[in-house]
A and B are shown apart, each in its own frame.
Chain A
Amino acid sequence: MSLYAMLELLIKGFRISIGIFCLTLIFSLPLGLLVSFGASSSAAVIRLPIKTYISVTRGTPLMLQLMVVYFGPYYLFGLTLFPSYRFTAAIIGFVVNYAAYFAEIYRGGMNAIPLGQYEAAQALGYTRSQTYVRIVLPQMIKTVLPSLTNEVITLVKDTSLASVLAVSEMFSSARKIASAQTTMLPFAFAGLLYYIFSFISEKIMKYFEKSLDYYN
């Protein structure tokens, strides 16, 4: 196998890794916000299940969660699994897992906003939703960005866990090529690509952090 063919296969897998990465962020970033609202709800019927979900999700391996999402429907409900469900299952697993982490980060960010901000908004007659949208959220985003950067970089590497569901992302591709060609080279390339991907993600996040530097 030529080096070129090897790289071509890896990059095909890399595209799927990027797909998992983007879809996970698109869904889990807003979902995390909803979860964080739920976790601080005054209604125990909402709060307790959500707190349990966050606790279990953070306390069990992501790899195991991916397997539960994929195999669960068969073992629990006897549903037939189609191979096309693999990718969807991976996305669901990642979104559920990352939303829990993001929710906790958002909650921390919310708590960091001084009570005086809410009071000032109340005194000026802002409604609750106006207060959240105009006053609380923009400040919260600034506070949580550094923590989000951490999670985003972790996600770059976590996409490799989708290989447990035989989703043909980059790590699966690398392993396939490596065992067929008896060479470690694909792992080296994959490692390099993961690093470049993380590096770029970090730069993008730092750019967002910088763009909010105009106040403190």
Chain B
Amino acid sequence: MNVLEIANLTKSYKGKKVLCGISLSVGEGKILSIIGPSGAGKTTLLRCASLLEEAEDGEITLQGETIASSIGGKAAYLPDKELSKARRAIGIVFQSYNLFPHFSVLRNVIDAPLTVLKEDKREAREKAEELLVMIGLENKMNAYPCELSGGQKQRVAIARALAMDPKIIFFDEPTGALDPKLTAQMSGLMRSLAMNGISVVIVTHEMPFARDTADEVIFMENGRIIEKGEARKVIDTPEQEKTRDFIWGSER
């Protein structure tokens, strides 16, 4: 079963169409990468797909549940309460991480499970500590975000998202602040999330990263999907001319 299905999504900003009918689906434990030039609408797509923003028209189905349906040319979303419940299945790792600066690393990870899911304190703490061990930051548990490097902040953001047991997790430009070694680690981390049944959606500029990490790739330009398919195939042997221009241009 597909965890996320999107059909004919449209969205405009100030009269300019940013998404012109996007359809895609993400299977369980699959990694989808969205690539394309700046201004292609990748981030907007991510924000609509992760329910941060509402699309104008289109359909969104999450774990078989209809989140938005197209009624009379407009996207009709679930009521707020159910929408925020549905959001629990979604994790987001923001490009600027958006950690809570007034919380310690541990508090950042543990606060939502306690506040939102009303989890038991001890269990939540154990789970948070496990996650921090997994990302290698157990010794920074009591540090504050301002004391961490960019890569460390990003890992805390990942742990924070994972603490909510999401079914699908979105990454906006995850490799922007990482050196090659950390980028390789990030790729490994995403693969292991997928292995554990969590679906991953990545917006990225970095072709080698998308090629090595994702199962499937979508190439977008001007709010449209130009090409999609198996990651290696699309990136190594693109069929569309626009895709070729972009990918080969970026390698030169």
Footprint of B on A, CB under 8 Å?
114, 116-117, 119-120, 122-127, 130, 134-135, 138-139, 142, 214-216
What are 9 residue pairs bridging A and B, where the CB atoms are less than 8 Å apart in the complex? A120-B94, A122-B84, A124-B160, A124-B164, A125-B84, A126-B112, A138-B102, A139-B102, A216-B146
Chain B: interface size category: 20 to 34
Instruction: Please determine whether A117 and B144 come into contact, CB atoms closer than 8 angstroms.
Output: no
Instruction: Please determine whether B87 and A123 come into contact, CB atoms closer than 8 angstroms.
Output: yes
Which chain B residue lies CB-closest to A133? B115
Instruction: Please determine whether A122 and B164 come into contact, CB atoms closer than 8 angstroms.
Output: no
Bound CA–CA A19/B94 (angstroms):
49
Residue in contact with A122 in the complex, picked from B85, B87, B102, CB distance below 8 Å: B87
Instruction: Please determine whether B101 and A127 come into contact, CB atoms closer than 8 angstroms.
Output: no
Which chain B residue lies CB-closest to A131? B115
Given that A116-B94, A215-B144 are contacting pairs, would A124 and B112 also be in contact in the complex, using a CB cutoff of 8 Å? yes
Tell me if B158 is interfacial: C-beta within 8 Å of chain A.
no
Tell me if B96 is interfacial: C-beta within 8 Å of chain A.
yes
* Residues from chain A with Cβ under 8 Å of B84 in the complex: 122, 125, 127
Residue in contact with A215 in the complex, picked from B52, B101, B115, B117, CB distance below 8 Å: B101
Residue in contact with B102 in the complex, picked from A123, A124, A215, CB distance below 8 Å: A215
Tell me if B5 is interfacial: C-beta within 8 Å of chain A.
no
Instruction: Please determine whether A126 and B102 come into contact, CB atoms closer than 8 angstroms.
Output: no
Beyond A142-B102, A215-B101, 18 additional pairs, beta carbon < 8 A = A114-B98, A116-B94, A116-B96, A117-B100, A119-B94, A119-B98, A120-B94, A120-B100, A122-B52, A123-B52, A123-B161, A124-B116, A126-B112, A134-B111, A134-B115, A139-B102, A215-B145, A216-B101
* Residues from chain A with Cβ under 8 Å of B204 in the complex: none
Instruction: Please determine whether A123 and B146 come into contact, CB atoms closer than 8 angstroms.
Output: no
Tell me if B88 is interfacial: C-beta within 8 Å of chain A.
yes
Which chain B residue lies CB-closest to A123? B92
Of all A-B residue pairs in the complex, the 8 with the closest CB atoms, nearest first, are: A116-B98, A120-B98, A124-B112, A123-B92, A125-B116, A215-B144, A138-B102, A125-B88
Footprint of A on B, CB under 8 Å?
50, 52, 84-85, 87-88, 90-92, 94, 96, 98-102, 111-112, 115-117, 144-146, 160-161, 164
Instruction: Please determine whether A123 and B91 come into contact, CB atoms closer than 8 angstroms.
Output: yes
Which chain B residue lies CB-closest to A214? B144
* Residues from chain A with Cβ under 8 Å of B92 in the complex: 119-120, 123
Residue in contact with A130 in the complex, picked from B87, B96, B116, B144, CB distance below 8 Å: B116
* Residues from chain A with Cβ under 8 Å of B98 in the complex: 114, 116-117, 119-120
Instruction: Please determine whether A126 and B145 come into contact, CB atoms closer than 8 angstroms.
Output: no
Bound CA–CA A124/B101 (angstroms):
16
Which chain B residue lies CB-closest to A122? B52
Instruction: Please determine whether B52 and A125 come into contact, CB atoms closer than 8 angstroms.
Output: no
Bound CA–CA A124/B98 (angstroms):
12
Bound CA–CA A117/B85 (angstroms):
19
* Residues from chain B with Cβ under 8 Å of A125 in the complex: 84-85, 87-88, 112, 116-117, 164
Residue in contact with A126 in the complex, picked from B50, B99, B116, CB distance below 8 Å: B116
Which chain A residue lies CB-closest to B96? A116
B131 to chain A, nearest CB (A): 14
Bound CA–CA A134/B146 (angstroms):
18
B103 to chain A, nearest CB (A): 8
A11 to chain B, nearest CB (A): 41
B77 to chain A, nearest CB (A): 14
